[in-house]
């Protein structure tokens, strides 16, 4: 039994590794820390959508999966690399995620979606200059579903704090900070920072742990592997339906936590959702 379990987990880890190898090489955000001076950064709202990378021919998720968007949607995109968020509105992630996941796109659903740009992969110049390039691209394209996320100077910590409070009060998720003077780069870096009222991160499902008591016969907890290789158990945040049909091994999930222990393990971690991108 133990050998079968190891083989099963090994299969899903190999599959996840193969998917990761096919993922686009893009810039990933670190978490904003109080000791960081926000003055060198341009700030935008963190949109709760599906990240999408356009390579000039096809749209792909962060994991490298092709997004089956309607022909009219992609035909309007320029023959240059783009990075942005497929987004409908605040607090409508489930809707846009469902739209993007369909094998056969539904025009009526995609008419609600906007491709909100925040980067030009591989382009030269500083980030502030690339923002100007993005604005020129959408002016030339002249289609309502291609837009640039507004970027504004952070000024100082106090203004950043007030800005975050306004966005969250209006139903937003948080803020993104991108150094205005930064050349394009990939990988996880302080060049790009996310600021939210609660911390979150992602991990890959390794196995399901059985439930007890009222959760007998259902999921008790997910064991996930973090980016640094540590294992973490998520036992809360699930609906009854999710406990009956939990994310499979190999799935990428988002969890929320309060802070880190002295050993670097997330404290009070709870499941948020499966990440499709």
Each residue's pLDDT tens digit, 37-56: 999 999 999 999 999 999 99
Report phi then psi at 169, rounded to 5: -60, -35
Query: Can you give the pLDDT at residue 10?
Result: 59
Q: Average pLDDT for residues 230-238, to the nearest whole number?
A: 94
Query: Can you give the pLDDT at residue 271?
Result: 94
DSSP string, the chain: -HHHHHHHHHHHHHHHHHHHHHS---EEEEEP-TTS--TTEEEEE---SEEEEE-SS-EEETTSPBP---HHHHHTS-SS-EEEEEE-STT-HHHHHHHHH-SS--HHHHTT-EEEEEE-TT--S-HHHHHHHHHHHHHHH--TTEEE---EE---HHHHHHHHHHHHHTT---EEEEETTPPP--EEEEEEEEE-SSEEEEEEEEEEEE--GGGTTSEEEEEEE-TTS-EEEE-SS--HHHHHSPPPTT-EEEEEESEE-TTSPEES-EEEEE---
Give percent above pLDDT 90 in the chain.
74
Query: Can you give the pLDDT at residue 16?
Result: 45
- pLDDT of residue 87 exceeding 90, the answer is yes
CATH of 29-195, one of 3.40.718.10, 3.50.4.10, 3.30.470.30, 3.30.70.260: 3.30.470.30
Mean pLDDT score across all residues of the chain:
89
Query: Can you give the pLDDT at residue 14?
Result: 53
Query: Can you give the pLDDT at residue 103?
Result: 95
pLDDT digits (tens, 9 = 90+) for 143-156: 999 999 999 999 89
Query: Can you give the pLDDT at residue 256?
Result: 87
- pLDDT of residue 264 exceeding 60, the answer is yes
Query: Can you give the pLDDT at residue 261?
Result: 78
pTM of this prediction? 0.71
- pLDDT of residue 5 exceeding 60, the answer is no
- Residue 260 pLDDT grade (very low, low, confident, very high; cuts 50, 70, 90): confident
Neighbours of 263 (CB within 10 A): 6
Query: Can you give the pLDDT at residue 19?
Result: 44
Active site residues: 46
Task: Please provide the CATH number assigned to the domain covering 198-274.
Answer: 2.40.50.140
Q: Where are the domains of the chain?
A: 29-195, 198-274
């Amino acid at each position: 039994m133990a050998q079968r379990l190891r083989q099963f987990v090994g299969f899903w880890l190999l599959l996840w590794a193969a998917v990761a190898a096919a993922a686009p090489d893009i810039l990933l955000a670190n978490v904003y820390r109080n000791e960081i001076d926000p003055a060198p950064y341009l700030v935008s709202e963190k949109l709760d959508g599906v990240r999408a990378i356009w390579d000039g021919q096809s749209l792909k998720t962060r994991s490298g999966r092709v997004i089956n968007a309607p022909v009219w949607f992609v035909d309007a995109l320029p023959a240059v690399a783009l990075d942005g968020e497929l987004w409908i509105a605040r607090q409508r992630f489930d809707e846009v995620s469902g739209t993007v996941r369909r094998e056969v796109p539904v025009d009526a659903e995609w008419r609600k979606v906007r491709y909100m740009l925040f980067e030009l992969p591989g382009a030269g110049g500083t980030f502030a200059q690339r923002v100007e390039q993005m604005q020129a691209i959408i002016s030339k394209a002249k289609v309502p579903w291609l837009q640039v996320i507004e970027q504004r100077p952070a000024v100082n910590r106090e203004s950043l704090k007030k800005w975050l409070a306004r966005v969250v009060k209006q139903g937003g998720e948080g803020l993104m900070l991108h150094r205005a003077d930064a050349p394009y780069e990939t990988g996880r870096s302080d060049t790009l920072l996310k600021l939210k009222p609660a911390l979150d991160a992602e991990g890959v499902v390794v196995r399901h742990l059985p439930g007890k008591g009222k959760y007998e016969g259902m999921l008790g907890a997910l064991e996930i592997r973090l980016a640094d290789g540590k294992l973490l158990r998520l036992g809360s945040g699930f609906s009854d339906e999710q406990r009956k049909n939990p994310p499979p091994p190999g799935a990428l999930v988002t969890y929320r936590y309060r802070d880190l222990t002295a050993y670097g393990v997330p404290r009070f971690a709870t499941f948020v959702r499966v990440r499709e991108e």
